[in-house]
Structure 1
Amino acid sequence: MKSFLRLLLLITAFCCFHFTDTFAQKKKKYVVNAYVGGFRGLVNTEEIDADKLTHINYAFVNVQDSLAVLTNLATDSTNFRKLNELKLKNPDLQILISIGGWAWSENFSDAVLTPTSRLLFAKSSVDIIRQYNLDGVDIDWEYPAMRGEEGNVFRPEDKQNFTLMFKALREELNMLEKEKGRKFLLTAAVGGSKSFIDNTEMGLLQPYMDYIFIMTYDYGGKNGTVGHHTNLYGYGNSSDVSSADQSVKNFIAAGVPASKIGLGAAFYGKGWEAETGKNNGLGEKRIKSVPGGGYSKLKDSLINQNGYKKYYDKKARAPYLFNDSTKVLITYEDEKSVKDKCKYVKKHKLAGIFFWEYFNDPKEYLINEISRNLD
């Protein structure tokens, strides 16, 4: 009987060691961060492929009266519980709250204006993490010291207060780390423009940060023209065309280490009607914007269908569709462009990749490509 028990213990120990060793080998080297929209209500967490992610940023938490606020407590609390359950599939997965976003950034400037208001904001943000057993805070202020959505409050002092906000948040998270005995993350989604860098102190604030996610999408053409919205490189004859590559270079020059930078991928397309069909609409004057749609929808119903022909801009490393009869161009991300971004992450030793938004591609065409290329 003793021999049998000894054998059983040896087998159990071997299996545990083998499982741990195998799991360690599978742990991702690069960040793969998905923004998941909780603002719509309940999240279908059973449709999230947790094994292919390292982080989920829950979008969004609001800012009201200098506090981080859950505006729909019933669905938010349920979503946090269900997102945490994904750790049963992937124990390394980390869940962060993302505060702000395009629609909820109007009160940031007031919230971080004074030491007292900054402390209130930082404490309320970390209290959400503490209460729901989450893993960190992500800030998506669009934009400090610049106009974002119509009606947003912004002021020159935002430049310094942006830095002081992260300092206050880091101090609160440090206290939570001592309380809980584990690491908590502080990240930010930041605009990809040079003007964002000019209106912030990226070199001063980056020491407080774990990752800085550059929103290398929503570019478009210059001066009201039709252009790519999530291109990796510049294109055309202009030397100052926005691109992911230029954004990364600008942030590194501003003092952000490459190892902290996340490169953004768009899981949705953007559409514009061009004034003419010259050059398939690229560089032409915009007449109006039109719906683009998520990538699954684009791939299944528009690419080389319904009057849309697919083109690939080799210089920009970006696909686009053009409908010659309606003069509508749709700019988007596909498997090839995502693969190129993954190669770029590896080549330039960036932290990884992130994307907006998980459910824009429910068939997982793009997340599967990222998983194949960022292991």
Structure 2
Amino acid sequence: MKQISLITLLFCCILSTTTFAQKNKKFDIIAYYTGDSKLIDEYEVNKLNQIIFSFCHLKDGKLSVDSAKDSITIKHLVSLKAKNPQLKIILSLGGWGGCEPCSNAFSTAEGRLKFAKSVKEVSNYFKVDGLDLDWEYPAIEGLPGHLYQPADKPNFTELIKILRSTLGKKYELSFAAGGFQKYLDESIDWHAVAPLVNRINIMSYDLVNGYSQVTGHHTPLYSTNPNEESTDRAVTFLLNQGIPAEKLIIGGAFYTRTWKNVENINNGLYQAGEHVQGVDFKNFATTYTEANGWKYFWDDKAKAPYWYNAQTKTFATSDDLKSIKAKTEYVKEKKLGGIMFWELPLDSTRNGMVNAIYEVKTAK
């Protein structure tokens, strides 16, 4: 009897160790998606673990799907799970400029409960797997003119608590976190929030954004100087807060930030300029060509690419295939939870950024 118990105990130890190891190897590829019900079928959904439908908004304090078109899209996304058992469909609230009422709506217990109940109702109706809060930003300025207040920080914690208790343990709960230091320092009570969410989607892009009058890497893996924001800087900060590595998701940018009137100094990097519309990854190959006057540069310290056009004095910064592979290797090395990106319709339908992530993820 003792021998059988010992063997059973040993088997259980091996099983639990294996389970833990498998858990540590979990690597999610997460796509934010603003497209419709037809566009998604052009992409390799089998390489994704989550699709985050973007965006839902607040209407009278409740989670609201904006239109019949969006309803059709969400239903179609959910139907994709039949062929893709690994896939989860998440609804996202807000986005840049999409959370104007959030500070006020979430400022009372009644408001937070009202919202949580609406999330449960909408989630049950569509049979989605979770919610991603994209409030930009609690307690600090986001879109100019939007209300933000110091109370947002504790209110965000209380919001997460009521969402978790209302929706249950199996419901996927995440939030899009600013990847810059002011957000990391001031917006979230990390110790209170982290145990209640499945993952933290670090927006480690737009670190030099459209309001900047100086160029720089907008989505670098590493900082090139002590004052520069980067993916690694945000990850290191959160790991130092004691957040489990597997809850941290880093961000990839499938688009350029671009500036004009940039002098030909240091190939346009860290120079004054005027921000203009950027380019989607799927158009990089036809836009950033030598024939068009562009030169490609690689910053080996930042692990980030950039482009400069001396003829038009234009500078561009983004992720590309090389940098997204470096980010994927970083996720594996740090045993993080995966990579998310903005956004799937900006990618090539084949042999693009998602494929590059997937190839590195699945390589032995």
TM-score, normalized by length of structure 1? 0.86
Superposed counterparts of 1:247-326, under 5 Å: 247-286=234-273, 288-326=274-312
- C-alpha displacement of 1:198: 1.9
Point out where structure 1 has 5 or more consecutive residues left out of the alignment: 1-24, 178-182
Aligned residue among 18, 27, 30 for 1:30: 27
**Is residue 106 of structure 2 the alignment partner of residue 112 of structure 1?**
yes
Aligned-residue offset at 1:151: 2.2
How much has 1:43 moved relative to structure 2? 4.9
Aligned counterpart in structure 1 of residue 56 of structure 2, from 61, 69, 84: 61
Evaluate the alpha carbon distance shift between residue 251 and residue 165 of structure 1 in structure 2; reply closer, same or farther with a 3 A threshold: same
- Alpha-carbon distance in 2 for matches of 1:305, 1:172: 57
Shift of 1:42: 4.7
Q: 1:151 to 1:65 in 2, by over 3 A?
A: farther
* Counterpart amino acid of residue 53 in structure 2: Y
Structure 1 pair 208–316 and aligned structure 2 pair: CA distance change class (3 A): same
How much has 1:160 moved relative to structure 2? 0.3
The answer for the alignment partner of 2:223 in structure 1 is 234
| Coordinate RMSD, CA, aligned | 1.8
Q: Does the Cα contact within 8 Å between 1:219 and 1:242 map onto a contact in 2?
A: yes
User: Deviating runs (4+, > 6 A) in structure 1?
Assistant: none
| Helix, strand or coil at the partner of 2:163 | helix
1:103-151 Cα deviation digits (max 9, x unpaired): 2111111111011000001111221111001100110000001111122
Residue of 96, 102, 122 corresponding to 2:96: 102
Q: How high is the TM-score relative to the length of structure 2?
A: 0.88
Question: SS where residue 292 of structure 2 aligns?
Answer: coil
Q: How far apart are 1:253 and its partner, in Å?
A: 2.2
Looking at structure 2, the residues matched to 58 and 241 of structure 1 have their Cα atoms a distance apart, in angstroms, of 31
Number of equivalenced pairs: 336
- Letter of the 1:340 partner, please give it: A
Q: CA deviation at 1:86?
A: 1.3
**Per-residue deviation, 1:274:** 4.6
Partners in 1 of 2:289 and 2:249 — Cα distance? 28
Which residues of structure 2 form unaligned runs of 5+?
A: 1-21
Which of 315, 329, 332 is the equivalent residue of 1:329? 315
Q: Measure, in 1, the Cα distance between the counterparts of 2:289 and 2:46.
A: 29
Distance 1:143 1:43 in 2: 32
Write the letter of the residue equivalent to 2:48.
L
The one of 156, 174, 177 aligned to 1:187: 174
CA distance in 1: counterparts of 2:212 and 2:320, whole angstroms: 26
Q: Partners of 1:270 and 1:48 in 2: how far apart?
A: 24
1:223 to partner: Cα distance: 6.9
- Alignment equivalent of 1:161, drawn from 143, 155, 158: 155
Q: Is the 8 A contact 2:262 2:315 kept in 1?
A: no
